[in-house]
Chain A
């Protein structure tokens, strides 16, 4: 099963980095009864990608005690397990043992999509009707005798009816609601054209007329529905992929009762004053104060600080912080709705104005297009009536104008390009929430980056590994392996690959907030804060800061850590700079940390210690100055800014609400995703404009023929199909920039090689 090695598959592996998955209580909370004493749990398993994976997972989960069925859905990368109520089978542990990360996802819906079902049903019915009516029409066009023609017209009318009802209903409803709000959209001319064409054809059929437009009206619906269905599939695919990422906000917390009992309660039931246990590796669910325990907290998601913070009793903590090393007991001081998280949501809702003001290209086009078309049809009617005085003839020709100008190509011009573009983005691990986001991304002239977790990976890296002796590093790694502190992990990672001698320490103690103490044969090593490790000696002249390894009071090594730049960060910013896009860094971290990163990337505009509200204010100030701003960020503190920006991007590792607020989510580590997405958006914009030009050109050609009364149903059918095919063919020309593409793939390996000289230069 070598093909299933975790990480062998690019698109979604960023989601599952190192996460052990949700706890048993959390899974139980997310399960739902399905009747008959059965419970169903849906888990996202981003690592599945082939038949062998399906088989391994279904067999392993199906073999667990209490599990009745386990079914993998490869398209959505989810597994749904049914189990008998009672003890919770160890799903996540089993999946982890097989090498798959598993987690709960947002919403927890079944994955059925009623809108897609309705669209596919409509496409099927419209396709059936269009095919059959076209067959009948061919014989009419080739000159069927009068009685046969009438019969065929009647049959066509009959077949078109369900198509009009099921497939046309989608357009009629949309057009009706748009008109109800006093707006114009693309569906208004479509609905009007189709309804009038059907009405006129029915009248013609009853009066034994020679021309009926049943084929035109139904095939119009068919083409447009294909575009609409593809558009929906694209958005839905992005939505499920984003929803399948690991949930970062906890669903609940372990509460200690008055009598010492422990209950896992959902987040909504947690009240101020309750005592909560936060295990190592869990996130703080609500704002509170630490009662017992010492630990290090990762605040990068909440405040943007990259260095872990040591906390002890009395320290205040905010929802969203991650407990790293030791269990903590805290007292809740706010309910979930009033916590830091909720504050961010409130700011986001207030900020959403900018994006709502944006009107989609297609809507803007149709606002211009529809009145012109309707005026042309009306003028044709008036003109023919004045010239000939023949009501019937005037109406027939006016409706022919409506049909021929019906925005079939126009309706496809935008969605088909955006579907192809979304497909290209998806292949590169970038999810786009909707087509309008792509139009907005093409407009940007300014980019604002968060630092921690966006420009950097948010994981500390040992900076001076090359200057340390191999033995020292191996010793440090052997001690550090006993701790979950990010610095310890960085030392273990740095020592990886070197011959690590086995140290059998007599004892190893972790002192939270200070460091680790190890003893072996009378020797004592301390790895941790210099102040603590050297407190027994009075080594004059030694700077008492930073992280050191000390043997019996003698300093063996000093460690310097640095947040690692995201691969591709430098070329990505360089590329954007070349395109004339202004850039700035806005971070909640300290000035020194921000300067270090900004200097390395050569960005002059930088702001440190920025609060979430200030980030939001900056976005609004830039917008007021007429700038179109792209915001790239990952933390909870970025979420309001992500919502306020003209367009926004977030990495897959971002906080839940940040991911939901962002228009684009990129799943790979490489920051070249940003210029790549912009490049595709620009290309898509060019193709859309070309498609508009093609559609308008077609109309300029066809309208005079229609106005002069020369359009027969045959001409209408041929012209419409041809213009649609041309537009689709043009959309398929969308390609990605070869250079950027290869750079974003090569970057993964190159960044490791490039990191070494960079470190030396910095040291």
Chain B
């Protein structure tokens, strides 16, 4: 039982971290322009663009 008491919280915690990271990325608009993001990695920029 003791290993369960450690492993289950760890598993749930890691899952929750992933979930929260996803929700944050969703909220910060990273899925608004998926096609654009795929192309932008190929653009060389002199200065980083400001995102709005």
Contact = CB atoms under 8 A, between A and B. Distances in A.
A120 B15 contact: no
A111 B36 contact: no
B33 A69 contact: no
A120 B26 contact: yes
Interface stretch (A71-79, A328-336, A595-603): A71-79
Interface of A: 50-51, 54-55, 58, 69, 71-76, 80, 82, 111-112, 117, 120-121, 124-125, 128, 131-132, 135, 147-148, 151, 155, 159
Nearest to B41: A51
Interface residues of B, number: 27
A54 B15 contact: no
B39 A74 contact: yes
Contact of B33 (A74, A82, A120, A148): A74
A54 B40 contact: yes
Contact of A132 (B15, B36, B42): B15
A58 B49 contact: yes
B32 A75 contact: yes
Given A51-B42, A71-B51, A74-B39, A125 B19 contact: yes
B35 A132 contact: no
A661 B43 CA distance: 40
B4 A151 contact: yes
Contacts of A111: 32
Given A80-B52, A124-B22, A51 B15 contact: no
A608 to B, nearest CB: 46
B40 A51 contact: yes
B23 interface: yes
A54 B42 CA distance: 11
A73 B40 CA distance: 11
Give the top 8 A-B pairs by smallest Cβ distance, nearest first: A51-B39, A74-B36, A74-B35, A73-B33, A128-B19, A75-B35, A51-B42, A75-B33
Interface in B1-45: 1, 4, 8, 11-12, 15-16, 18-19, 22-23, 26-27, 31-36, 39-40, 42-43
Contacts of B15: 128, 131-132
A12 to B, nearest CB: 13
Contacts of A80: 52
A55 B49 CA distance: 11
Contacts of A125: 19
A34 B8 CA distance: 47
B23 A121 contact: yes
A135 B11 CA distance: 10
B49 to A, nearest CB: 7
A73 B32 contact: yes
A73 B50 contact: no
Nearest to A152: B8
Contacts of B16: 128
A117 B22 CA distance: 12
B4 A148 contact: yes
B9 to A, nearest CB: 10
Could you say which of B23, B33, B42 has the most chain A C-beta atoms within 10 Å of its C-beta?
Answer: B33
A206 B43 CA distance: 58
A55 B40 CA distance: 8
A134 B10 CA distance: 16
A617 B50 CA distance: 55
A74 B35 CA distance: 6
A54 B39 contact: yes
A381 to B, nearest CB: 36
18 contacts: A50-B39, A51-B40, A54-B36, A69-B50, A71-B51, A72-B36, A73-B33, A73-B36, A74-B39, A75-B32, A82-B52, A111-B32, A120-B26, A124-B23, A128-B18, A132-B15, A147-B1, A159-B12
A75 B36 contact: yes
Given A73-B33, A73-B36, A117-B26, A54 B43 contact: yes
A148 B51 CA distance: 49
Given A74-B39, A147-B1, 4 more contacts: A76-B33, A132-B11, A132-B12, A155-B8
Contacts of B1: 147-148
A125 B11 CA distance: 16
A71 B35 contact: no
A89 B34 CA distance: 29
B49 A51 contact: no
A288 B49 CA distance: 49
Contacts of B4: 148, 151
Nearest to A145: B1
B37 to A, nearest CB: 8
Nearest to A82: B52
A76 B31 CA distance: 12
Given A54-B43, A58-B49, A71-B51, A120 B32 contact: no
A41 to B, nearest CB: 13
Contacts of A55: 43
A619 to B, nearest CB: 39
B36 A121 contact: no
